[in-house]
Amino acid sequence: MTTQLLQVDEIKQFFPGWRKDVLKNFLLIVHCIIRCRTVCLYKCRAEAGAILQRRNLKLESIYKQFIRFFKMKWIDGFAWASLG
């Protein structure tokens, strides 16, 4: 079963102040978590290739991308922006 990632433009209206690359990473992480039914990013990284429809993804690179997302200094603001 293949799953496509939602288009960033469809979601951008709910997060007008955020860059598209940040939204793309956010959507990828959420999609991986839902598919894996776990928040363990180490396990979620295996689903990224199927979601992005790319077989040649390096799992370690995806994992590092996930970690960088959560290391953002303004991650708290990201969550609050969606509520306003």
pLDDT digits (tens, 9 = 90+) for 10-59: 788 888 778 888 888 888 999 999 999 999 999 999 999 888 888 888 99
Question: In which band, very low, low, confident or very high, does the pLDDT at 84 lie, cut at 50, 70 and 90?
Answer: very low
* Whole-prediction pTM: 0.76
CB-count exposure of residue 66 (10 Å: 0-12, 13-18, 19+): buried
Q: Count of CB atoms within 10 A of residue 30's CB? A: 13
